[in-house]
Amino acid sequence: MEAELPEALFERMRDFLKIHPHWDQYQLVSCAIANFLYQNGSNDKTVAQHYLDGIFNKK
């Protein structure tokens, strides 16, 4: 998947990753998408699992 990010979001993502080296850009984006889907009514168990894994920082 390719996506263009506003520069401010890209810079904040880069800053976050520098501070949290146990994360990577793919994990961060995956977590953000799962968070969005879950909070907007997705009933899929896989989405819920990714959402919870992101909250508790599990891979």
How many CB atoms are closer than 10 A to CB 12? 12
Q: pLDDT at residue 6 above 80?
A: yes
| pLDDT score at 43 | 93
How many CB atoms are closer than 10 A to CB 33? 15
HSE, CB side, 13 Å, CA atoms: give it for residue 54. 21
Average pLDDT rounded to a whole number, residues 1-25: 92
| pLDDT score at 53 | 87
Q: Could you tell me the pTM of the whole model?
A: 0.78
Q: pLDDT tens for residues 21-51?
A: 989 999 899 999 999 999 999 999 999 998 8
| pLDDT score at 54 | 83
Contact 5, 13 (CB under 8 A): yes
